[in-house]
Structure 1
């Protein structure tokens, strides 16, 4: 006889002012505030590079390190949150994020940018980004709230991108890049009080039902021995590669092709705006359609949109249109990916196992940002990276098709 990975009930500590709606709103605000500034970093590349005489590869390396360390830190931040609760992890991550922004603000060497934008913000994001928020949603909210909550939490990050891209451009144009980073740092401090709504209880082994009593090592062994989880993790690599490359290098690519800086700002903002629609729609659709098919369609659509975008002359209309399609498929991979992890293994180690999937995402992001800078400095063009992005999109569309959407079977000890 066997038992499946169960849906864990909402934590018993919920009550009083922490209603499901309050939890979703506060978590969404955290997602907006943490995702917004980093999505606007591409607009700081040119003014900082011009002021200090750097090549684009310097800034690209810092943001590549950020993506990689975000991914490396995510499983460990998730494991700490799974064991000891979420509030401390989110608060410490937010403070590291603030310190990283200030290091960028007051630094004047490549090392200071790599420390601030790379190390501090990278590890900070692993503790306070929407990934921890989505995991908290999975633990705190009733099952009937989870689909829309995962979509809303992801969409909130996109709204942060929509909001902070034009704000970042306006602040840089009006006051300079240093004051813009100071404003971003001040706004990040709001995450600390908002994290109180995300409080999950610490979990001792005796608090967990027998069917879910796993150690950290047992949970990892089960997940990485599960074919569908491995396919999901491999496919998520492409998402990170595409998103990070576009976020960091698209503004400069558009300027290189004759578009204005403002056009780049509005394209990034458009991506954020339409990702709200895409994330909420996928959050709703994943309860009605197989999640693996949703993921395959998303990856294939991104690949075809890129082919069309780079094959024709760049105009304001084509750039905005690319932003619309990219936005609809931007972070909409996150709700079905996190839902599949919860479906396969339950929510006991959700933050940890989703964290390892996200590590794959961030390895892709690291390579997307880094290769974009290296290839441009060597060839004076981003074209090879665009086509590599297309190839990865097609491969991920195929990789997700064989995923089996079912809980993993676990043996249950029988009474004598």
Structure 2
């Protein structure tokens, strides 16, 4: 079975399953902050304990993603995603019954981190890229990424309502119900395992050969390092913007509204950059995202914040938020093909997650030491600009061992 031979029902079963799985996995994960004050009060953990569990989640997700990618590329997606859903539910169960920081770290940190490796963006993008023709690949990944951004719209209001009316334990049980919906979604997305690998003129490579080729390719290395900056900037904003606004004497509702604006405009931006990636060089678009983010951060922190400027900042950052996902995945496919896409994206994503950890932890360290975020946001702007311009100049030629061989004319014998 090839992408061109899929019926519309088969194609949408795969793409819809990937989008639903991604949407619910990320929506629930992004809503965990709503549980923090209630769990701190009821089970005797501290805010630092809760923050540590979330930081461990990011690191576990990043460390495990390359290995999950290897399994997906070797064994297929269906059983891997179903295992991820099971681990997600186990993590939620540990959170429901948590009585200590250790339980919280095991549940929301380790289990959810592992589950996100199996159910979130890297795997969903790899599934989506295999279900469509090359001409539709970039816009399709943008569409699935955009739909995956809608999970927060479902999970967050549901969690807040259940917490207010029935308690945080019931809200987590409600999340377990949403995780059950991920089961048929994973089964539908897993139908991509029946797809035949695309036939190319390049020789089939082993995993070790592809890894050596990737680590020796300057463009891939630049892209992975720039992805580190992406994670640092985004998590710095989501983690520390509310505190910054509080220091400026603004109402907490302004920070919540800004995060909501980020979520809404993220849907638009994800599809937009997926569409643009099918028409323009992806390295320029990706570098442009990093540069524009840095300029918006500089403009926002240089000017006195107001509710209006904060909402505009949220809208601008949301538009530039996850649009990088289809671009990074698309560049990996162009350089190395589909065969080991999940593995190579997973390695780059590890770099992203290290940046995420430092964006949250490093921003807090700077604030505790200096009493302001001035040094932190200036550093985020500087390295963002460097990463953006380096990304634009990356080498986008496939490795020599993946370029089509040029046929050598053979002299015909004369009579």
TM above 0.5: yes
Q: What does residue 178 of structure 2 align with?
A: 187
Aligned positions of 1:45-56 closer than 5 A: 45-51=36-42, 55-56=46-47
- Summarize the Cα distance change of 1:392–1:39 in structure 2 as closer, same or farther, 3 Å threshold: farther
> Which one of the candidate residues 216, 220, 223 is aligned to 2:211?
220
The alignment of Structure 1 onto Structure 2 pairs a total of residues equal to 406
Bigger Rg over Cα: 2
User: C-alpha separation between the residues in 1 aligned to 2:63 and 2:361?
Assistant: 16
Q: Which moved more, 1:285-294 or 1:308-317?
A: 308-317
Report how far residue 103 of structure 1 moved: 2.0
Residue equivalent to 1:289: 280
**Where in structure 2 are the equivalents of 1:4-403 lying within 5 Å?**
10=2, 15=6, 18-51=9-42, 55-199=46-190, 200-201=192-193, 211-378=202-369, 381-403=372-394
SS of 2:401's equivalent in the other structure is strand
Report how far residue 11 of structure 1 moved: 6.3
Aligned to 1:5: none
When residues 321 and 392 of structure 1 are mapped into structure 2, their CA distance, relative to the original with a 3 A threshold, is same
Structure 2 counterpart of 1:407, from 375, 390, 398? 398
* TM, length-normalised to structure 1: 0.88
Cα distance change of structure 1 residues 385 and 63 upon mapping to structure 2, 3 Å threshold: farther
Instruction: Tell me the alpha carbon deviations over residues 322-367 of structure 1, each in whole angstroms, 9 at most, x when there is no partner.
Output: 2101100001111111100000011010111111111111111122
**CA pair 49-377 structure 1, distance change in 2 beyond 3 A:** farther
C-alpha separation in 1, matches of 2:161 and 2:68: 34
Aligned CA RMSD, in angstroms, stands at 2.9
- Contact 1:71–1:360 under 8 Å retained in 2: yes
Taking structure 1 as reference, are residues 244 and 210 closer, same or farther at Cα in structure 2, changes over 3 Å only?
A: same
Cα deviation code 1:287-318 (max 9, x no counterpart): 22221111121111111222233334443323
For the 8 Å contact 1:39–1:247, the answer to whether it is kept is no
Deviates more, 1:402-411 or 1:292-301: 402-411
**TM-score under structure 2 length normalisation:** 0.88
Instruction: Say if 1:249 and 1:176 are closer, same or farther in 2 by CA, change over 3 A.
Output: farther
Question: Equivalents in 2 of 1:174, 1:376: separation in Å?
Answer: 36
Could you say which structure has the greater relative contact order, defined with CA pairs below 8 angstroms and 6 or more residues apart?
1
Q: How far apart, CA to CA, are the structure 2 residues paired with 1:249 and 1:53? A: 24
1:80-126 Cα deviation digits (max 9, x unpaired): 11111101111111221222223223213222222112111111100
C-alpha separation between the residues in 2 aligned to 1:50 and 1:256?
24
**8 Å Cα contact 1:94-1:188 kept in structure 2:** yes
Preserved contact between residue 233 and residue 380 of structure 2 (Cα < 8 Å): yes
CA distance in 2, matches of 1:166, 1:261: 17
CA shift, 1:222, in A, is 0.6
Partner of 2:274: helix, strand, or coil?
Answer: helix
Q: Is the 8 A contact 2:131 2:195 kept in 1?
A: no
Q: How far has the Cα of 1:244 moved from its partner?
A: 2.4
Structure 2 contact 143–270 (Cα < 8 Å) conserved = yes
Q: Taking structure 1 as reference, are residues 114 and 335 closer, same or farther at Cα in structure 2, changes over 3 Å only? A: same
Decide whether the 8 Å contact of 2:43 with 2:99 is kept in 1: yes
Question: Whole-Å Cα distance in 2 between the matches of residues 384 and 164 of structure 1?
Answer: 35
- Structure 2 Cα separation of the partners of residues 52 and 387 of structure 1: 38
Q: Which residue of 2 aligns with 1:3?
A: none
